Structures are given as C-alpha cells and as structure tokens.
A and B are shown apart, each in its own frame.
Chain A
Amino acid sequence: MNHYLVQVWAILRKDLLLEIRSLERIGAMGAFAVLAGVLFNFSIDTTAVRPDDVATGLIWMTLIFGGLLGVGRTFQLEAQDGALQGILTSPAPKDAIFLGKTIANFVLLYVVSILVLGVFGLFFGLDLGQNLGWVVFVLGIGSLGFVAVGTLFAAVAAGTHLKETLLPVLVFPLMVPMVIYGVGAMMPLVNGRPITEVEGNVRMLGAFTLAAVAAGAVLFRYVVED
C-alpha cells in the first residue's frame, strides 16, 4: 500500500481502537442523540404540526450538537502524554493526519446518525420506506462535511485555553449551508418524494463536504504547527 495511505490508515485505526477501548465519545454522542429524540418527542405538539415537517430539522440539529461532543474531544486523545507532538514530529504529512482523524470521526458520527434516524423514526413515526437508502446517503454526506469542519476547528480550539467551549462558536456559523441543503434534501425524501426532486440540494451538500475536506486538509498544518 502507498505509504501515504498507510499513514492515514494508521491514524484512523489508532483513533478507532482507542474509541473501542474507551467508548467515551460514541457513548456521549449516542446518549445525547437518544435523550434529544425523547425530549423533542415530548416538546412538540404533533396535533398542531406534522411530525414529518419538523423531524428532519431536529435530526440535523441533534447530529450537530451531538457530533460536537465527539469531535470536540478528538484532540484530547492526543493531549495525553504529549502524543500530538509524537505525531507532529513524525514524517506523516499533516493532511494525512487530518484525513485519518476526519475519517475516524466520520465513522463514529455516521454510526450515531443512523441511531438518531432510528430514534426519530420511532418517536416521530417517520415512514422512510423506499427512500431509506437515500436518506442514509444524505446523512453520510452531511456527517462527513460536519466532521471535516469540526476536526479542523477542534484542533484550533485545542490550542486555546477555552478548548471545547470555543468549538460551537467556531463551527456553528459554518454549518449553515449544511443545515440548509441537508434539511432541503432530506425533508422531501422523508415525505416520500423521489430523489430526482432533491438532486440540487444533494449536489450542494456534496460540494460543501468536498470543500470542507479539501480546506481542512490544506489548512490543518497551519493550525497545528507551532
């Protein structure tokens, strides 16, 4: 395998292995997702609004808030015993480090996003039917875009004394396009409309994600180098 890919894989594998051993981040994100689903279920009068109309927005907001819990801790793994310096002084290119960590965060958040979909599907009685595959696909694209932005800014926040407290302030403004196109793509799908009706939103969401991953890979070195 190409050495660059070996380095990306090493970072990815290490982050997932640490998560499997501790279950800290996925536990926090999963618990938040389930509790948010339960609370939203009781906070909305489903006789006044159609559940299908509000569920999509709530799913995306739950993902963003829950995702921050996990992504925000991604550099705490490296803070132990100065491990970040160990990685940064290795020959691994900074973009390989970024991609490895982003993919690891994506795997975790994607698992949580499926859980969120299940919880909201249950409480809001969503009938995803034939569009389930497309909904999961759209969630995947959105999750990848979110973790790319989140991983970059988690590195920024880790270098400040505010740490995770700063992260939402940095990330939320950049999430506006993702929420607009994510909800725009998912709501019709949840309502049983065909994928052809939301192609434009899916493309825009994909473009946002590509831009986030590319920008993160380029900018990461300027964030972590002292």
Chain B
Amino acid sequence: MSSDSGRLNAQDIPELGSKRSGRLVLEAQGLHRNYGPVVAVGDLDLSMSEGEFLTIVGPNGAGKSTLLSMLSGAMRPTAGSVSVCGDKLDFGRYEWRHRIGMLSHQGFLYDRLTVEENLYFYGKLFGVTDLEDRVASRLQRVGLLERAQFEVRKLSHGMRQRASLARALLHDPDVVLLDEPYTGLDPAAAVVLRDVLDELKDGRRTVVMVTHNLREGLEMATRIAIQVSGRFAWEGALQGAGWEDFESHYHRVVEGRV
C-alpha cells in the first residue's frame, strides 16, 4: 500500500501475522546467534502459515543467511528454537529434515557426478521412494531432462542453479528456503527460476527467500521483512505498491529513518 507521497510507511503495513490464516508451518521463537561478541541474529520471532511466501531483504551483514541456516537446521542457534509443522528442530533427530528444502547460491552439487546422479544421491538420503519418476519430473520441470547425463561441471551457472532447484524440491518439502537464488543467473535462467518459484505458491508450501534483488524478491512475496543488524527492522506486505516505492522505503528503514 502506498501513501499519497507514493512512499510506504510503517503505518500502512499490517502487523506480521495479523492476516495469517491456515496451518502454522514455520515458527521461530527468540532465535539468536552470535559469533563471539558479534550478534548475527538477535532474538528474532517468526511465524509462517501454509502458502505464505516471505522475502527477507537487507544490507550485507544483516544476518539474513545466518537466519536461513538456522531455519534449515544447518546451524545451531545460540538461543531460541525453530519448529516446523509443530515439530521442534531437535538436532538429535532427523525426521523433520524431510520437511525442508534449501536452495542456496551454492548448489550442494558434486561437479564430477552427472545431474541425475546428484539427484539420485540426494533422493536416497531423503528416502524418496518413487525416485526414478521424481527425478525425471523435476528435471523436466527445470528444463534439464536432456542434460540429465551431463556432469555438473559441464553445465553453465544457470543450469547448475536449475539442477540445484530440482535437488531442493526433489523430496517435496513443506518449507522451501531460498538464499540468494538469483545470484549470477542470466535473464533466461532467471525466468525459469521465477516460473518454478511461482509454482511454489500453490497454497501448500511455505517459502522464505533471502535476496538482495528487491525487484525479484518482491514479485513473489506475500510478506516482506527488512532485516538490519540481525533483527527485522520492518515487516509487512507490499499490498499493491510498486517496487520503486518499496525501494525508497527500504533505504529509509536501513538508514534508520523509519
């Protein structure tokens, strides 16, 4: 929602969660992580329902990737907890990891394995039963079926990212975490990624995306958070406002003027 001046301001934005409906899927309470004296994420609360798409933007060093690492279970929080579909992330148990898919600017792929071998490998780790069909359908969706037998090192960056997307969605996760997914993609690859991400907004999945790219980030989002110094300095919904409006709002928030 934009004000008369064309700018967003905090009063225009509903409180986080006030319009939430549906099943609570992802919940973080008092999430905190510090590296020595440096607080990367500070006492952050977050709750997301089925079908929501949250985009987190913020300057470098705001703790966005640290937050995502904690939500994915890759990093243990210094304090606080994360729950997925009501199950608290317990590092001694592994079942809840089936519910999470992670796509980072790193692909988690092995260069000397083929695209198909990489997907089979992860499929077995995740216990995917109909692996053959699942791999074929995911590769088909990201347009890599014809390159299934290519070693990953022979793919372009955009194709690698598409292969990573197929890997992240292979086990049909409830929660999808995206860390700078557009980094280094050419426009054509970005379109494929956008199409697939658009399909994730099927009302069934909960998506959290961290990005520097305001435009790409806002296109998808049902909710937005601006993270500064480890905390959400602003949260809300775009509600029809253009990304140019949001950009000026973003700068005001980051500079502490809101």
Contacts and interface: CB of A to CB of B under 8 A. Distances in A.
B72 interface: yes
B111 A89 contact: no
B152 to A, nearest CB: 8
A89 B97 contact: yes
Given A21-B113, A91-B98, A226-B75, 19 more contacts: A3-B127, A6-B127, A7-B124, A14-B113, A14-B121, A21-B112, A22-B112, A81-B109, A82-B107, A85-B104, A86-B102, A86-B109, A88-B74, A89-B74, A89-B100, A91-B94, A91-B126, A92-B94, A92-B125
B113 A89 contact: no
A224 to B, nearest CB: 10
B78 to A, nearest CB: 11
Given A90-B125, A91-B94, A14 B75 contact: no
A91 B125 contact: yes
Contacts of B126: 90-91
A7 B74 contact: no
B73 A77 contact: no
B104 A82 contact: yes
Contacts of B113: 14, 17-18, 21
* Max chain B C-beta neighbours (<10 A), residue from A3, A86, A225, A226: A86
A225 B106 contact: no
Nearest to B153: A80
Residues of A contacting B: mostly: helix
A93 interface: yes
A211 interface: no
7 contacts: A7-B125, A10-B125, A21-B151, A86-B109, A90-B97, A91-B98, A225-B76
Taking residues whose C-beta sits less than 8 angstroms from the other chain, chain B's interface range is 20 to 34
B91 A10 contact: no
A83 interface: yes
Contacts of B98: 91
B150 interface: no
Contact of B97 (A11, A14, A91): A91
B138 to A, nearest CB: 15
Given A91-B95, A226-B74, A81 B111 contact: yes
Nearest to A15: B110
B117 interface: yes
Q: What 9 A-B pairs have minimum CB-CB distances, sorted nearest first?
A: A86-B108, A82-B106, A10-B124, A90-B125, A91-B97, A91-B94, A21-B112, A226-B75, A92-B125
Contacts of B73: 89
Contacts of A111: none
A141 to B, nearest CB: 29
A58 to B, nearest CB: 34
A31 interface: no
B34 interface: no
Given A86-B122, A226-B74, A17 B94 contact: no
A87 interface: yes
Contacts of A77: 110
Given A90-B97, A91-B125, A226-B69, A14 B110 contact: yes
B106 A89 contact: no
A90 B126 CA distance: 6
A198 B144 CA distance: 58
Given A7-B125, A81-B107, A226-B74, A89 B102 contact: yes
Nearest to A83: B108
A88 B72 CA distance: 10
Contacts of B94: 91-93
Interface in A7-48: 7, 9-11, 13-14, 17-18, 21-22
A90 B74 contact: no
A83 B117 CA distance: 14
Interface string B158-183: 00100000010000000000000000
A105 B157 CA distance: 31
A14 B117 CA distance: 9
Contacts of B102: 85-86, 89
Interface in B52-76: 69, 72-76
Contacts of A9: 124
Interface in B125-141: 125-127
A217 to B, nearest CB: 14
Nearest to A90: B125
